[in-house]
Chain A
C-alpha cells in the first residue's frame, strides 16, 4: 500500500512536468495544426537557462565563479523568470523565422522545419553548452517530508504547486481573457478569424511565447527534481509529452494535463515493477493503443475532415 502511494506521488510529480510540456504541444497544434517537434528542446533550453541563470546571478552578487548559488526564494523566482523570458523570446523568433514563412505551404513543410529546428537546438546546444552532463544547482533548500509512511521532498511539493499554478493561469488566459477568446477563434478557423479582424499572426506568436515559457518552467522543475541536464535531455520528455498531448486529445488544454499525469503515473508503476526496462516503451504503447482505438484522444472531439 505504501509502495503504491509512493509510486503514485512520484508519478504525479513527474507527470505534472510532462503536462507542462504537453500544453505547449497542444496549444500550437490547436491553432496551427502543427506539431512543433522542437518543443522538447525548448524545454532543454529552459533547463540550461536555469543552470546558467543561477550561475550568473551568483556572480552578479559577487560570489565565486562556478560555486553553487545560494538557495533562496527570490533567486529561484528570478531564475525562473529569466528562463521563461529567454525561452519566450526564442519561441517568438522560432515562429517568426522558421514557421511564419511557411504558413501557406503544405503542412508537411512546417513539420519538417520543426524537426530541423529540433536538431538545430540539440546539436547547437552541444556546441554552445558542451555535450557533458551538467548538474542543476539546488536553487531552493530541500527538506524531507513524511506522512503516512509516504516520503516526499519539498521539491516535489514545489513542482506540484508551480505546475498547478501555471496550468490554472493558462486556463484563465484561454477561457477568461480577450486574448484567449481570439486564440480559440483562431483555432476554430484560421481564415474566418482573420476576416473577423483578429490579428492572427500576433495570436500565433503569443501562443508560441506562452508555450515556450511553460516549457521553460517545466525545464526548471525538471532540473530541480532530476539534476542531470544535457543538450539531448529534451528528446525523451518531449516525445512523452507529445504522447500525453495525443492521449488527452491534441488541441485540448485540460486533456494535455490529464494526459501528462496519466503518462507520469503509468511510468512510475512500470518502473517500480519487474518490467522497469519497459518504462520508456510504455508511453509509446499507450500512443499506439490510443491511435488504434480512440484517435481523437480521451477528451478530443472527433471532427470530420472537410474536403
Chain B
C-alpha cells in the first residue's frame, strides 16, 4: 500500500516536472496569446564579451520601444537571453535550449561568424528564423532560407578595405596576420587579399595566430622581416590591442588595418597608444550627424551612460526588423515570420537602409572607415551605395553582394572602383574632425 502511494506520487511529480510543455510565465511562443518569445544568444562573457553585451543593450532598447508602442498584434515581446561564453559549442547549446525548451519563435544572434555558423543549422532545421545582427562571413546566411542578417558581408568589406589601403593610403606592400580559429578572420583575409592583388598591391607576408593566444612576437618578427608598409589584422578586439602593443615593442611602426571585429569600447583601452594611426571598417559612426543616428545615440547614452558601438546599433536594427516582420505576419510562427523578414524592404535603421536581397543579405549597406586618432575614433571615409545623396552608382556593390561567393571573386575592376570615388572626408569630418568618445 505504501509503495503504491509512492508510485502515484512519483507519477504525479514526473508529470508536473516533464509532462507539461514548457511555457514560461504563461507565455507561449506561438499563437497561444500572451507574450511572444524571442531568443537571443550572444557572447556575454569571454574574449568577445563586449560584442554580446553591446548587442544585448541594443536589442533591449529596441524591445522596450516596440513594447511601449503596443507590441506586436496587441502582444508584448519577451526576449530570452543565453550566454555562449564566446564559444562555438556553447552557441549551439544555447540555441538548442532556446528552441527546444523555451519554444521561441525567432532567434537573434551572434556577432562572431563562427558562433553564428554553429547555431544557424539548428535554427534552419527547426524552421525558426534567425537574424544575425553582425556576422559578416558570407557562409552564415547560406545555411538556409531561415537565416538572415542586417549587416554587410565580408566579400564587400574586404575589397573595400583593400581599396582603402591601395587608393587612399597609397600603400603597395601589405602583410596579413589572421586568426585561424575564426571563420570571420580567415574569410575577410581572403577577400582583402584578392582585391589587393588585383589593384596591383603585394602581400609580402601572411602569418596566423589562434584566438586566445597572447604571444604574437614570433609572427610579428616574421612579418617585419618582409618589410610591409601596412599590416592587415582582421581579428577581434581582445587580440588586436595585444598585437599592436607587441608590434610597437618590436620597433614596428606600420599602421594596422582591420575590419568591424575591432569595434569595442575596450579596443583603445587595451591597445592604447600602440593603435594610434590605425584604421578599421565599421557599420556606422556614432558621431554621424544623421538624425536617426543622433536620436539613437542620445537614447542609448541616457540609458546605458555610454556611447553605443556599431554592435549595439545592429542589435537594435535586428530587433526592429524582426518586430516589423512579425507585425506583418499573419501568424506568429516560424515560417510566416520568415516569409515576412525576407520581404524587408527599405527599412530605415540606425546603420542605414536595410533591404534584404535574394540571398537574405542586406543590399547596399553603408560602410565607414574609422581612424584611431589621439585615442579617439575619427571618421576617415564613408561608402554609402544605398543613399541617394551620394553619386556612386549602386550597381557595383550589389554586384559584389549578389555574387556572395568566395570563388567568384569581386566584380570586374572598372565597376568596383566606382565607390572609391566617395572615399573622401565627409562634410561632418570638416567640422569636428576628431570626434570624441565619452569619458567612461
Kindly provide the distance from the CB of A263 to the nearest chain B CB, expressed in whole angstroms.
13
Contact residue among A142, A155, A273, A280 (Cβ-Cβ distance under 8 Å from B222): A273
CB contact under 8 A between A10 and B251, given known A132-B46, A133-B47, A133-B238: no
Q: Is the CB of B214 within 8 A of A226?
A: yes
Kindly provide the distance from the CB of A119 to the nearest chain B CB, expressed in whole angstroms.
16
Asked if A242 is an interface residue, CB under 8 A from chain B, the answer is no
Q: Give every chain A residue within 8 A of B209 (Cβ-Cβ).
A: 271, 276
Asked if B208 is an interface residue, CB under 8 A from chain A, the answer is yes
In the assembly, what is the distance between CA of A227 and CA of B213, in Å?
Answer: 11
Q: Is the CB of B251 within 8 A of A271?
A: no
CB contact under 8 A between A151 and B250, given known A132-B45, A132-B49, A276-B207: yes
Asked if A135 is an interface residue, CB under 8 A from chain B, the answer is yes
- Chain B residue with minimal CB distance to A267? B218
Asked if A2 is an interface residue, CB under 8 A from chain B, the answer is yes
Kindly provide the distance from the CB of A136 to the nearest chain B CB, expressed in whole angstroms.
10
Asked if B242 is an interface residue, CB under 8 A from chain A, the answer is yes
Q: Is the CB of B217 within 8 A of A276?
A: no
Kindly provide the distance from the CB of A6 to the nearest chain B CB, expressed in whole angstroms.
5
In the assembly, what is the distance between CA of A132 and CA of B207, in Å?
Answer: 27
In the assembly, what is the distance between CA of A232 and CA of B269, in Å?
Answer: 22
Q: Give every chain A residue within 8 A of B225 (Cβ-Cβ).
A: 2-3
Q: Is the CB of B217 within 8 A of A144?
A: no
Asked if A146 is an interface residue, CB under 8 A from chain B, the answer is yes
In the assembly, what is the distance between CA of A220 and CA of B207, in Å?
Answer: 29
CB contact under 8 A between A14 and B207, given known A3-B221, A133-B238, A153-B249: no
0/1 string, B207-233, CB within 8 A of A gives 1? 111100111011101100100000000
Asked if A268 is an interface residue, CB under 8 A from chain B, the answer is yes
Kindly provide the distance from the CB of B368 to the nearest chain A CB, expressed in whole angstroms.
27
Q: Is the CB of B218 within 8 A of A276?
A: yes
Q: Is the CB of A268 within 8 A of B218?
A: yes
Q: Give every chain A residue within 8 A of B207 (Cβ-Cβ).
A: 276
- Chain A residue with minimal CB distance to B49? A132
- Chain A residue with minimal CB distance to B180? A277
Q: Give every chain B residue within 8 A of A153 (Cβ-Cβ).
A: 249
In the assembly, what is the distance between CA of A271 and CA of B243, in Å?
Answer: 14
Within 8 A of B (CB), among A277-302: 277, 279-280
Q: Is the CB of B218 within 8 A of A269?
A: yes
CB contact under 8 A between A272 and B210, given known A6-B250, A132-B46, A226-B242: no
CB contact under 8 A between A227 and B242, given known A131-B46, A277-B180: yes
Q: Give every chain B residue within 8 A of A16 (Cβ-Cβ).
A: none
Asked if B85 is an interface residue, CB under 8 A from chain A, the answer is yes
CB contact under 8 A between A272 and B219, given known A2-B225, A133-B47, A226-B214: yes
Kindly provide the distance from the CB of A271 to the nearest chain B CB, expressed in whole angstroms.
4
Q: Give every chain A residue within 8 A of B392 (Cβ-Cβ).
A: none
CB contact under 8 A between A271 and B45, given known A3-B221, A131-B85: no
Kindly provide the distance from the CB of B410 to the nearest chain A CB, expressed in whole angstroms.
27
- Chain B residue with minimal CB distance to A13? B217
In the assembly, what is the distance between CA of A151 and CA of B213, in Å?
Answer: 21
- Most A Cβ at <10 Å: residue of B45, B238, B249: B249
Contact residue among B219, B242, B270 (Cβ-Cβ distance under 8 Å from A271): B219
Q: Is the CB of B250 within 8 A of A276?
A: no
CB contact under 8 A between A276 and B208, given known A10-B221, A131-B85, A271-B219: yes
Q: Give every chain B residue within 8 A of A233 (Cβ-Cβ).
A: 214
In the assembly, what is the distance between CA of A250 and CA of B404, in Å?
Answer: 55
- Chain B residue with minimal CB distance to A135? B270
- Most B Cβ at <10 Å: residue of A225, A226, A268: A226
In the assembly, what is the distance between CA of A270 and CA of B215, in Å?
Answer: 12
- Chain A residue with minimal CB distance to B249? A153
Kindly provide the distance from the CB of B412 to the nearest chain A CB, expressed in whole angstroms.
33
Asked if A124 is an interface residue, CB under 8 A from chain B, the answer is no
Q: Is the CB of B180 within 8 A of A146?
A: no
In the assembly, what is the distance between CA of A101 and CA of B238, in Å?
Answer: 43
Asked if A199 is an interface residue, CB under 8 A from chain B, the answer is no
Kindly provide the distance from the CB of B274 to the nearest chain A CB, expressed in whole angstroms.
11
0/1 string, B190-221, CB within 8 A of A gives 1? 00000000000000000111100111011101
In the assembly, what is the distance between CA of A267 and CA of B217, in Å?
Answer: 11
In the assembly, what is the distance between CA of A271 and CA of B214, in Å?
Answer: 12
Q: Give every chain A residue within 8 A of B218 (Cβ-Cβ).
A: 7, 10-11, 267-272, 276, 279
In the assembly, what is the distance between CA of A144 and CA of B269, in Å?
Answer: 21
- Most B Cβ at <10 Å: residue of A3, A7, A146, A228: A228
Kindly provide the distance from the CB of A148 to the nearest chain B CB, expressed in whole angstroms.
13
CB contact under 8 A between A144 and B249, given known A268-B218, A272-B221, A276-B207: yes
Q: Give every chain A residue within 8 A of B245 (Cβ-Cβ).
A: 227
CB contact under 8 A between A10 and B217, given known A151-B250, A228-B238: yes
In the assembly, what is the distance between CA of A131 and CA of B222, in Å?
Answer: 32
- Chain A residue with minimal CB distance to B207? A276
In the assembly, what is the distance between CA of A133 and CA of B222, in Å?
Answer: 27
Kindly provide the distance from the CB of A71 to the nearest chain B CB, expressed in whole angstroms.
14
Q: Is the CB of B221 within 8 A of A6?
A: yes
- Chain A residue with minimal CB distance to B242? A228
In the assembly, what is the distance between CA of A271 and CA of B225, in Å?
Answer: 14
0/1 string, B49-60, CB within 8 A of A gives 1? 100000000000
Within 8 A of B (CB), among A220-242: 225-228, 233
Asked if A130 is an interface residue, CB under 8 A from chain B, the answer is yes
Kindly provide the distance from the CB of B278 to the nearest chain A CB, expressed in whole angstroms.
18
In the assembly, what is the distance between CA of A10 and CA of B210, in Å?
Answer: 18
Q: Give every chain B residue within 8 A of A3 (Cβ-Cβ).
A: 221-222, 225
In the assembly, what is the distance between CA of A131 and CA of B46, in Å?
Answer: 6
In the assembly, what is the distance between CA of A144 and CA of B242, in Å?
Answer: 16
Contact residue among B45, B249, B250, B269 (Cβ-Cβ distance under 8 Å from A130): B45
Q: Is the CB of B45 within 8 A of A272?
A: no
In the assembly, what is the distance between CA of A135 and CA of B242, in Å?
Answer: 10
Contact residue among B180, B222, B242, B251 (Cβ-Cβ distance under 8 Å from A151): B251
- Chain B residue with minimal CB distance to A222? B214
Show the binding face of B for A, using Cβ within 8 Å: 45-47, 49, 85, 180, 207-210, 213-215, 217-219, 221-222, 225, 238, 242, 245, 249-251, 269-270
A-B pairs with beta carbons under 8 Å apart, 6 shown: A142-B249, A144-B249, A144-B251, A271-B218, A273-B222, A279-B218
- Add 13 more A-B contacts to A144-B249, A151-B249, A271-B218 (CB < 8 A): A3-B221, A6-B250, A7-B218, A10-B217, A153-B249, A227-B242, A228-B238, A233-B214, A268-B217, A271-B215, A271-B219, A272-B218, A279-B213
- The 5 tightest CB contacts between A and B, nearest first, are A271-B218, A226-B214, A272-B218, A131-B45, A151-B251
